[in-house]
């Protein structure tokens, strides 16, 4: 156990329950199948004890497996780092620039987001990864990305072994005379192998080859995405915030210039923030180095503006048909059944008369927040998710029922602190929102 704990840091032993989820079960099964089959096939194809080449091949296989598992378990058990429950900024004045998380009963530090799966606010959250059944964030970003690099490398090596084994076995272990192949093929056992290569062994090798090739392509693509995130120092969520910031500025024509604050201006500088020799990334996950023209709360203020803007611009819908919250509802039409969004985001059950503030949608499904009564709001509840489009009808702004909501929206806009930093022409933005609202209401 001591030996194990030097490799894998268990923050809490109860974290082991993260293994009981389809993601880690499938991921570990694929690792187990590919590495076991690669080792067995190596014994048949390239017996490790006879030649240096065979030994190197076998040692490398073990090496891949150990490195992949080391990074995988660290990504899972070290975790992304969570903002302490009930966290407040050191300077109380700064709290006004931050969002409050009702579930964690604390403020959301810059770059952190609340993950519904982990049920905590996660430091520099990128996304919740079902394969590690944990979030990818500040502390495990390097382990996660190393895993994404090593898994395709290991799988490519395994795939070569599978192909060579099948090739040599199918063609009766013919001797290789390829001048292009640099491996010393004379060393390959050309007589009866130690293990018989039967039809089931062939089928198992073919299956493992499929898994290895699939993993190489899928995980390899994820690696490039994560490298882009690291080299720009901009998480997937932050890319989305930036996009919305540009959209907001264009929509209200406020004349603001949005500078993403965490890009340090060089790929190498950004890379060194995440990858360090000690394995622990730079920083405490709360205070971040920023662009000279920005400050610690540049992005959090932008998020607050977007939140208010979202309320103003979200479209109100009334539920006209009950919905039980099923992923693929049988009674809502074939298109709704087959076009269910491929996401782990929840579906929300609806009852006739409910009001929804929709923020996005597809042709057959919509995503939004259910408008809750005051008691539910006080309890910190939030009901947000997908529902079939045919269950709702758009509310018109000129209906009496909507008057109260538009008042509420107006209040939201006016509730913004008047003393936000001067670099944003906030008054101008407020005026633009008011204008947009009044023209929409007409």
CA distance 173 to 191: 8
Tokens of 13: 């032993």
Q: Which of 69, 98, 101, 166 binds Zn ion (CB under 5 A)?
A: 101
Cα separation, 371 vs 335, in Å, equals 27
Q: Which of 135, 153, 138 is nearest to 76 (CA)?
A: 135
Looking at 87-95, 103-111, 144-152, 307-315, which segment touches Zn ion (CB under 5 A)?
A: 103-111
Q: Lay out the sheet containing 384-388: strands in order across.
A: 384-388, 365-370, 355-361, 315-319, 392-394
Residue 384 binding Zn ion, by CB under 5 A: no
Choose which of 27, 34, 135, 201 interacts with Zn ion (CB under 5 A): 135
How far apart are CB 118 and Zn ion at their closest, in Å? 3
Contact 31, 67 (CB under 8 A): no
Round to whole Å and give the CA distance between 153 and 279.
21
Minimum distance from residue 78 beta carbon to Zn ion (Å): 14
Number of residues binding to Zn ion, judged by CB under 5 A: 10
Residue with smaller CB distance to Zn ion, 104 or 212 = 104
The single residue among 117, 272, 430, 434 that binds Zn ion, judged by CB under 5 A, is 117
Is residue 164 at the binding interface for Zn ion, with CB under 5 A as the rule?
no
155 binds Zn ion (CB under 5 A): no
Name the catalytic one among 34, 104, 118, 129.
129
Q: Is 135 helix (H, G, I), strand (E, B) or coil?
A: strand
Distances, alpha carbon 116 to alpha carbons 113, 229, 275, 373, 383, in Å: 10, 22, 27, 22, 12
| Nearest CB to Zn ion, comparing residues 129 and 264 | 129
> Is residue 129 annotated as a catalytic residue, yes or no?
yes
Q: How far is the CB of 425 from Zn ion (least distance, A)?
A: 31
CB of 82 to Zn ion, least distance (A): 8
Minimum CB distance to Zn ion, residue 135 (Å): 3
- Check binding of 115 to Zn ion (CB under 5 A): yes
> Residue 16 gets which letter from DSSP?
G
300: its two tokens: 């959090």
Query: Which run of H or E residues covers position 294?
Result: none
Minimum gap (Å) between residue 356 Cβ and Zn ion: 23
Q: Residue 128 interacts with Zn ion (CB under 5 A)? A: yes
Measured from the CB atom, the residue of 21 and 251 that comes closer to Zn ion is 21
75 binds Zn ion per the rule CB under 5 A = no
Alpha carbon distance 238, 126 (integer Å): 8
User: Closest by alpha carbon to 406, among 305, 315, 318, 319?
Assistant: 315
Closest CA to 313 of 365, 364, 257, 360: 360
CA distances from 290 to 228, 260, 265, 433 (A): 18, 9, 10, 29
The piece of 14-22, 117-125, 253-261, 303-311 that touches Zn ion (CB under 5 A) is 117-125
Between CA 282 and CA 354 the distance in angstroms is 47
**Residue 393: which H helix or E strand, with range?**
strand 392-394
Q: Is 88 in the site for Zn ion (CB under 5 A)?
A: no
Contact between 114 and Zn ion per CB under 5 A: yes
Alpha helices in 46-124 (DSSP H): 52-77
CA distances (Å), origin 143, targets 117, 131, 263, 293, 338: 20, 14, 21, 31, 37
**Identified binder of Zn ion from the candidate list 121, 148, 229, 366, rule CB under 5 A:** 121
Contact between 219 and Zn ion per CB under 5 A: no
Count, in order, helices (H) and strands (E) of the chain. Answer: 12, 11
| Closest approach of Zn ion to the CB of residue 240, in Å | 16
Rank residues 38 and 104 by Cβ distance to Zn ion and give the closer one.
104
As a whole number of angstroms, the distance between CA 130 and CA 139 comes to 17
**Looking at 47-55, 113-121, 204-212, 310-318, which segment touches Zn ion (CB under 5 A)?**
113-121
Cα–Cα dist 369/160, whole Å: 50
Nearer to Zn ion, 346 or 361 (CB): 346
Cβ-based nearer residue to Zn ion, 103 or 227: 103
Nearer to Zn ion, 60 or 103 (CB): 103
118 contributes a contact to Zn ion by CB under 5 A: yes
Q: Which span sits near Zn ion by CB under 5 A: 53-61, 95-103, 186-194, 377-385? A: 95-103
Q: How far is the CB of 148 from Zn ion (least distance, A)?
A: 17
User: With respect to Zn ion, which residue has the nearer C-beta, 137 or 261?
Assistant: 137
| Residue 132: CB minimum distance to Zn ion, A | 10
Q: Is 104 in the site for Zn ion (CB under 5 A)?
A: yes
Q: Which is nearer to Zn ion, 140 or 296 (CB)?
A: 140
Query: Which residues form the interface with Zn ion (CB under 5 A)?
Result: 101, 103-104, 114-115, 117-118, 121, 128, 135
- Catalytically active residues are 129
């Amino acid at each position: 156990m001591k030996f194990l704990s030097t490799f894998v840091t268990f923050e809490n032993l109860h974290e082991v329950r993260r293994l009981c989820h389809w993601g880690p079960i499938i991921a570990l099964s694929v690792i187990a199948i590919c590495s076991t089959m690669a080792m067995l096939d190596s014994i048949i194809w390239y017996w490790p004890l006879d030649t240096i080449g065979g030994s190197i091949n076998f040692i490398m296989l073990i090496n891949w497996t150990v490195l992949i598992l080391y990074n995988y378990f660290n990504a899972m058990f070290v975790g992304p780092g969570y903002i302490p429950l009930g966290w407040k900024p050191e300077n109380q004045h700064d709290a006004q620039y931050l969002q409050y998380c009702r579930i964690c009963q604390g403020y959301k530090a810059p770059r952190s987001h609340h993950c519904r799966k982990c049920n905590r606010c996660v430091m520099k959250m990128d996304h919740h990864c079902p394969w590690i059944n944990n979030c990818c964030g500040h502390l495990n970003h390097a382990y996660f990305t190393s895993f994404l690099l090593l898994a395709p490398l290991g799988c490519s090596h395994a795939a070569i072994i599978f192909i060579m084994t099948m090739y040599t076995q199918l063609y009766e272990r013919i001797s290789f005379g390829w001048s292009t192949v640099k491996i010393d093929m004379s060393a390959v056992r050309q007589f009866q192998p130690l293990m018989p290569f039967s039809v089931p062994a062939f089928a198992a090798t073919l299956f493992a080859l499929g898994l290895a090739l699939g993993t190489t392509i899928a995980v390899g693509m994820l690696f490039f995405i994560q490298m882009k995130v690291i080299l720009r120092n901009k998480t997937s969520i932050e890319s989305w915030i930036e996009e919305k910031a540009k959209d907001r500025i264009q929509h209200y024509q406020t004349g603001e210039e949005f500078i993403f604050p965490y890009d340090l201006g060089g790929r190498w500088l950004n890379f060194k923030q995440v990858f360090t020799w000690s394995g622990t990334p730079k920083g405490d996950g709360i205070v971040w180095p920023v662009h000279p023209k920005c400050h610690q709360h540049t992005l959090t203020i932008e998020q607050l503006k977007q939140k208010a803007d979202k309320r103003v611009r979200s479209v109100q819908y009334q539920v006209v048909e009950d919905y039980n919250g099923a992923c693929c509802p049988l009674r809502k039409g074939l298109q709704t059944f087959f076009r269910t969004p491929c996401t782990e985001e929840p579906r929300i059950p609806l009852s006739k008369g409910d009001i929804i503030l929709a923020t996005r949608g597809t042709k057959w499904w919509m995503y939004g927040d259910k408008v809750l009564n005051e008691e539910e709001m006080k309890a910190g509840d939030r009901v947000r998710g997908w529902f079939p489009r045919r269950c709702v009808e758009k509310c018109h702004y000129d209906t009496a029922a909507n008057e109260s909501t538009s008042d509420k929206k107006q209040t939201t806009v006016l509730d913004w602190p008047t003393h936000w930093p001067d670099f944003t022409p906030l008054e101008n933005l407020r005026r633009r929102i008011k204008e947009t609202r009044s023209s929409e209401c007409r």
